[in-house]
Each structure stands twice: as C-alpha cells, then as structure tokens.
Amino acid sequence: MRICAGVFEPTFSNFWQDPEQDKGYAQVDINVSHPIKLTRLAIKKSLQRGKRASVCIIASIGGLGGSIAAPLYCATKHAIIGFVKSMTASESFTGVKVTTICPGLVHTPLFTNDKKEQYSFHENKALKPDDVARGMLDLIQKKQYGCGTVFEISMAGTRVIPEWNIAPPSAEGTGQNEAEMAAGLKALLGPIQEKLRGEMKKSKL
Ligand SMILES: NC(=O)c1ccc[n+]([C@@H]2O[C@H](COP(=O)([O-])OP(=O)(O)OC[C@H]3O[C@@H](n4cnc5c(N)ncnc54)[C@H](O)[C@@H]3O)[C@@H](O)[C@H]2O)c1
C-alpha cells in the first residue's frame, strides 16, 4: 500500500499565515494522523486475513532538515520519519513492512504558481513523479529494504538514511550567482515578513 496524500503549507493550514484560530492544524491531520491511522488499519486488516503486507508512506527531505518557510510541513514529515523508524522491529509480529521515502523537490501540482515563485521552483531541478513511484515500488517489493527503512531520493541520487548520525545530502550547487540567491531569499521570506509586519504593534506616532 502506498500512502501518498499530503499538503504543503496550504492557505487553509499554514504556520506563518495562521488561518486556523480555534483548532489544531489540518496539515498535521492530513500529513501525520491519517497516514499513521491508515498504517494501523493495514496491520489490523493483514492480521485478520493472515496475509503479509507492505506499506510505504511518502515523507520528504524536509523531514530530515528544516525550512523557515515551511516549518509545519517539515515538522509533519519529521513525525512520519520518527513513526516509521519506530516500526523497525514490528514486522515479526504484525506481518507488515512499513517504510518511508523522502523525496527532494518533485514536479507535481503541490507546487502551485505562488509556491513555485516563493521557493524558486524550476522543473529542470526537480524529480519526476515516476522517479518517486519507482522508489516506492522498490521499497514495497524488495527484501533489501527492511521494515523501518527511510529512503532518500533527490536529484543527487538515492540513499538509505541511517538511524543515527545522518550526513547531509550530497548536492550540486544551485548554480545561482549572488544576486539570484538574494532574490531567491527575498521571494522565500517575503510573504512571511509581510504577514508579521501586519501583526506588529502599531506605532504610536
Ligand atoms: N512535490 C514535492 O516536491 C514533494 C516532495 C517531497 C514529498 N512530497 C510528498 O509527496 C506526497 C504527494 O504529493 P504530490 O507532490 O504528489 O502533490 P499533489 O498535490 O499532486 O498530491 C497530493 C495528493 O494528496 C491529496 N490530498 C490532500 N489532502 C487530502 C485529504 N484531506 N484527503 C485525501 N487526499 C488528500 C490530494 O488530493 C492530492 O491528490 C505528499 O505527501 C507530499 O508531501 C512531495
């Protein structure tokens, strides 16, 4: 089973824009609670049927690092990685292998036009959905990937993430000059700074 649904700091559940006033975060429900519950349901179903199963959840490279522009999203993906690592020894009594894949940037509708602009998204610097789908099939089907595997896939290649002491991902430089990098940072932080300016105590003058 592949668990793919997810949202990326959408307008209705967004750390910096903060549209949810009287409840928790829908983004956490969608990205964390639901995949975890679905995994539990898969275990129950497999035990009832007496059949083995394999579950692969999509996390993200954001679950290994962090992003000031997407702190809630990164937190949800860290949660999935923590959950899958915690399942490492569970297969012997559930019959279900649980793994996760951590893609870098992928060219999908998750990157709406405003997000493309904010994150300086370029199609030629992103994976294709097929790359991730193939990685998920490998994780589900191949014995070399045991329960609890955390698998990174990016433009720099693939690797299994160790439980401790994770080295930074190998990556090419962005190829941007200083001016382009400054423009990229401005685009990334602009919407956050604008929102926070609106929350500042108004000047007495
Ligand atoms: N695109 C990327 O760069 C990227 C990178 C790393 C990880 N991911 C992860 O990959 C997964 C798939 O995302 P994608 O890039 O294909 O984006 P996408 O927007 O194309 O797909 C996300 C899917 O989740 C579904 N979904 C969202 N909320 C839902 C809900 N409440 N109930 C049921 N379905 C819901 C959407 O309908 C959509 O089909 C997500 O978990 C995302 O976080 C994406």
DSSP string, 117-144: HHTT--GGGSB-HHHHHHHHHHHHH-TT
What is the pLDDT, as a whole number, of residue 156? 93
Ligand 1 centroid – CA 148 distance (Å)? 22
Q: Is 145 a residue whose pLDDT tops 70?
A: yes
Q: Give the integer Cα–Cα distance in Å for 5 and 57.
A: 9
At 54, is the secondary structure helix, strand, or coil? strand
Q: Is 204 a residue whose pLDDT tops 80?
A: no
Q: Give the integer Cα–Cα distance in Å for 30 and 62.
A: 16
Closest-CA residue, ligand 1 atom 18, reads 110
**With contact defined as beta carbons under 8 Å apart, do 195 and 17 qualify?**
yes
Mutating to test ligand 1, I would choose from 106, 111, 125 the residue with most ligand atoms within 8 A of its C-beta, which is 106
Q: Which helix (H) or strand (E) holds 189?
A: helix 178-199
Q: Which atom of ligand 1 is nearest to the CA of 103?
A: 6
Ligand 1 centroid – CA 177 distance (Å)? 32
pLDDT 10s digits, 45-99:
999 999 999 999 999 999 999 999 999 999 999 999 999 999 999 999 999 999 9
**With contact defined as beta carbons under 8 Å apart, do 102 and 79 qualify?**
no
CB of residue 105 inside a 6 A radius of ligand 1: yes
Angle between helices 71-86 and 34-49 (to 10 degrees): 20
Q: Which atom of ligand 1 is nearest to the CA of 61?
A: 6
Domain ranges of the chain: 2-197
Q: Give the integer Cα–Cα distance in Å for 86 and 80.
A: 10
Q: Name the class of domain 2-197.
A: alpha beta
